[in-house]
Amino acid sequence: MTATTDPLVSTEWLAAHIGDANVRVVDATFKMPGVLPLPKEDYLAAHIPGAVFFDVDAVSDHSSPLPHMFPSADQFGRDVGALGIGNGDTVVLYDAGGWVASARVWWMFLAFGHKDVRILNGGLKKWVAEGHKTESGQVTPKPATFKATYDARRVRSMQQMIDNVASRAEQVIDARANERYQGKVPEPRAGLRSGHIPGSLSLPYNLLFDAATGTMKSLDELKAAFLGAGVKLDAPIATSCGSGVSAAVLTLALYRLGIENAALYDGSWTEWGAANGPPIATGPA
């Protein structure tokens, strides 16, 4: 992993390049429904200078009953262009909390054909801790043109995941807390069954970064975490979670380990765990 291929950038790098004409900083903070203050309220209170707010729920398929499903390429292009982001820009994403939505939005940009996208290692927490400036209020950028092209290979549907239970062609890694994976606790979203996709492996996403600093763990530590979860790094992988957000943290870690073709199950447990969903498994892997 080199400085040009690593999807992470340091706070030092951003501080040096934040004024570059083609650098676009994006606050991609996300919270579970009902958690206050709202991500947009956090953004308005304090964000990295010049950052625009990417609303994961808004940039989604509003015709789907599932939360924040991938939008069409046309919609993604319109919504991103409205944020002042063009195809020639370097996009730097960050999160005000943990590694959750920033990784999801990073994967969305890749899936819609934009490779020049990075994540700020440590996010807003590290930026503030180091004494870098923030600003408040809404940033209204000049609209840009963003042409999106969807790469379906990066995303999995429920039917593909059902087929995979039988074929086991891809390993499935679940990013949720292990108690949720085992079905020991109720799901945070009402009406969902508890358990996991049959045959899937458990690797909670929070194990991949340092909670104190918000930075992602070293490549050796990431590799050890996947191997410890029973993952074969030389075989195909799809990631899953509660609603397709934290799964991207696993996808990001895999990408940093050189596995750039892992897919993400967009509907994740919100779709699979529905009352009328496919069969589930409980207990340890």
Q: Residue 53: how many CB atoms within 10 A of its CB?
A: 18
CA-to-CA distance for 24 and 18, rounded, in angstroms?
8
Of the listed 28, 241, 252, 263, which one is catalytic? 241
CA-to-CA distance for 91 and 93, rounded, in angstroms?
6
User: Cβ contacts of residue 80 below 8 Å, gap of 6+?
Assistant: 59, 109, 112, 146, 148
CA-to-CA distance for 31 and 35, rounded, in angstroms?
6
The b-or-e profile of 152-190 (16+ CB within 10 A means b, else e) is: eebbbebebbbebeeeeebbbbbbbbbebbbbeeebeee
Q: Which residue has the tokens 């200078």?
A: 49
CA-to-CA distance for 169 and 79, rounded, in angstroms?
35
Burial environment of residue 126 by CB neighbours within 10 A (0 to 12, 13 to 18, 19 or more):
middle
The length of the chain is: 285
CA-to-CA distance for 168 and 145, rounded, in angstroms?
41
241 is catalytic: yes
Q: Which residue has the tokens 């820009």?
A: 89
Is residue 68 within 8 A of residue 155, CB to CB? The reply is no
Is residue 284 within 8 A of residue 201, CB to CB? The reply is no
Active site residues: 241
